């Protein structure tokens, strides 16, 4: 699990160093996309822990969730509702859930109990 974290750090450094800056008007879209991607990554780590990892599910989730979340923001802007809140709530809670699973997996690696069953 150390390698993905290093990868994340490397990515952040690349992003900060690279001279490209997104237009400010797309800032909401990117933020929602980041949330969706973070959820997917944590989900991937979690499924890795439980050896249920499926590459196609992971990759499709990574890009699909991000695109769907951005679409929600786009539609919300057109309809004048903050649909982004729906994405924030869902992905936010899922991030915590995924993290809880990973946490329990690592803490109870030896024992076979106290794992959240979903």
Partner 1 sequence: MQRASKTNENNYKILMKDDEIVNKIDHGIVSVTILCIILGTIIGIQFKTVRSQITAYDIQRVSELSVKLNSAIAENDSLTKRIQENEKKITEYESYLAQDDKELKSILDESSEFKMLAGLTDVEGRGITITINDSPKAGQQNDGISTDAFLVHAEDILSILNELNVAGAEAVCINGQRIISTSAVRCAGSVVNVNDVKIAAPFVISAIGDPEIMEAALIFPGGVLDALKPWGIETTIKKLELVKVPGSKQQIDFKEAKPTTLGGL
x/- string (CB under 8 A) for partner 1, residues 15-54? xxxx-xxxxx--x--xx-xx--xx-xx--xx-xx--x-x-
Q: Which stretch binds partner 1 (CB under 8 A): 12-20, 69-77, 81-89, 103-111?
A: 12-20
- Tell whether residue 59 is a contact of partner 1 (CB under 8 A): yes
Residue 26 DSSP label: G
Give alpha helix (H) positions in 18-54.
27-49
User: Is residue 8 involved in binding partner 1 (CB under 8 A)?
Assistant: yes
Distance of CA 96 to the CA centre of its chain: 10
- Exposed (0-12), middle (13-18) or buried (19+): which is 111, by Cβ within 10 Å? exposed
Helix axes 27-49, 2-17, angle to 10 degrees: 160
For binding to partner 1 (CB under 8 A), which residues are involved?
3-18, 20-24, 27, 30-31, 33-34, 37-38, 40-41, 44-45, 47-48, 51, 53, 55, 58-59, 62
């Amino acid at each position: 699990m150390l390698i993905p974290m290093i990868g994340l750090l490397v990515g952040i450094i690349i992003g900060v160093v690279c001279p490209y800056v997104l237009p400010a008007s797309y800032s909401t879209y990117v933020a929602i996309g980041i949330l969706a991607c973070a959820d997917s990554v944590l989900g991937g780590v979690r499924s890795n822990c439980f050896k249920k990892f499926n590459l196609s599910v992971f990759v499709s989730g990574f890009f699909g969730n991000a695109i769907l979340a951005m679409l929600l923001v786009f539609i919300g802007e057109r309809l004048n509702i903050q649909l982004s809140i729906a994405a924030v709530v869902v992905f936010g809670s899922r991030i915590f859930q995924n993290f809880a699973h990973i946490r329990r997996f690592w803490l109870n690696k030896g024992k076979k109990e106290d794992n959240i069953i979903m």
